Amino acid sequence: MSPPALVLLPEWGSGHLMSMLESCKRVLLSGGGNAFSITLLVMRPPTSEATSEVEAHVRREAASGQDIRFHRLPAVEPPSDAVGVEEFIARYIVLHAPHVRDAVAAMACPVAALVLDIFAAPLVDVARGLGVPSYVFMSSTGALLALMLHLPVLHDSVPVEFDEVEGEVQVPGLPPVPPESMPCPVVDKKSPNYAWFVRLGDRFMDATGIIANTADEIEPGPLAAVAGGRCVPGRPAPPVYPIGPMLSLGDRSPSHECVAWLDAQPPGSVVFLCFGSMGWFDPPQVVEITAALERCGHRFLWVLRGPPSDASGAGAPDGSEHPTDANLDELLPERFLERTKGKGLVWPTWAPQKDILAHPAVGGFVTHGGWNSVLESLWHGVPMVPWPLYAEQHLNAFELVADMGVAVPLKVDRKRDNFVESAELERAVRSLMDADGELGRRAREKTADMKAVCWKAVEEAGSSHAALQRLAEALHHGAVIPKK
């Protein structure tokens, strides 16, 4: 008989799809031999650009030689009346439920699990109807997991908007959270995004288990709160398997121009600025960044992207406003490149972030704080300045500074679209990079400790390796032929 299958349903964004796939490939390898196969259910993304990205991932994985199959689900019509990003994504995925059911029911081999993206959590009902186990894959932090599980409780106990709360918001396992650090989807209770997040957190509780791209030692507080039943009093949470950090560290780009430029810089001297696949700034913010970089005087490598090609500003329905290559002549102040020549490199298109973070010349990272970027930074021991832009990144920034201690804080004006004044960015970069700065010194020490934690967790005797073994065993025992 064929090995039991892990059937994956990721959201189409690279941070979701590749994180889930890398984690499940680790599960596949953990059993040895032909322990599992992987079938990836591919939804057609709602934009052509996202479709191209997904197809590129599919082609690359199909050529890897591993036992990964791809099943393209029939297209569905996206919701036309969605007013929020998270609402759109969740509703669009739920519309695929009949096709997911048909695909799983047609499997000829035992199914070990239907592994669901966080936005696909309502499809635990599909798994239940087929009699197969369901696992939610948490591509973000244990902190967000604790908050989402606790959100239905907060919904009942906090009747006002979070920014009207006197003091801080209490999230199990975290220091008291300032209202301004709450994730974007929950800041407006009148928004459908908020209603969906409450619903998603509630549906997590109905899964067989939760797979988390983190480690016990990276986020001990939130993970202990979930395991100890403090997030949903009176109702034990599903078992959580923290098997991270799960990073795709292959495909090095040693000949890339950014890496070659770093080769000529002193160790630990360069601050790296990069803001993810959807991070871009308008001209007034670019001016503030250039002023900060000039005044602080540190060497810098800045990945600067241009605005999305959608000139209307409406953006994609799923919020994936992909930046374009930057026109440096239009965006940068006159003679900025001339004045910073030799000390700085502004790169206007995609750059190999993992290879840059791995380079010994890089001493600090100004980042949007997406969890995959954070894990890459911790893995390579690079302290951070988090500049949150969207999604859960404000909560990530708070956790990195207040709980982990691996980052220097940056004051971001959420009411002005996360605007940062040049003096504030200059202060944060100096704090991070100056050799005699107390904040930077503590962040560097904590990050060095966290690097060791990350590496140890995935070793054979590590906590994440042990969680992976427990997960593989649970998947083997739970594998069943789907009901028709």
Q: Which amino acid is at 322?
A: H
Cβ neighbourhood burial of 420 (10 Å; 0-12, 13-18, 19+): buried
**What sign results for the dihedral spanned by CA atoms 10, 16, 21, 24?**
negative
Identify the residue whose tokens are 């859960």.
392
Q: Which amino acid is at 114?
A: L
With a CB cutoff of 8 Å and minimum separation 6, the contacts of 189 are 161, 162
Query: CA 118, CA 108: separation in Å to the nearest integer?
Result: 27
Residue 18 parent element (H or E): helix 14-30
177: helix, strand or coil: strand
Is 57 a residue of the active site? Answer: no
Is 117 a residue of the active site? Answer: yes
Out of 57, 96, 99, 117, pick the active-site residue.
117
245: preceding bond cis by omega (within 30 degrees): yes
CB of 270 closer than 8 Å to CB of 300: yes
256 is written with which tokens?
Answer: 């890339």
CB of 325 closer than 8 Å to CB of 305: yes
Q: Which amino acid is at 467?
A: A
Residues annotated as catalytic are 16, 117
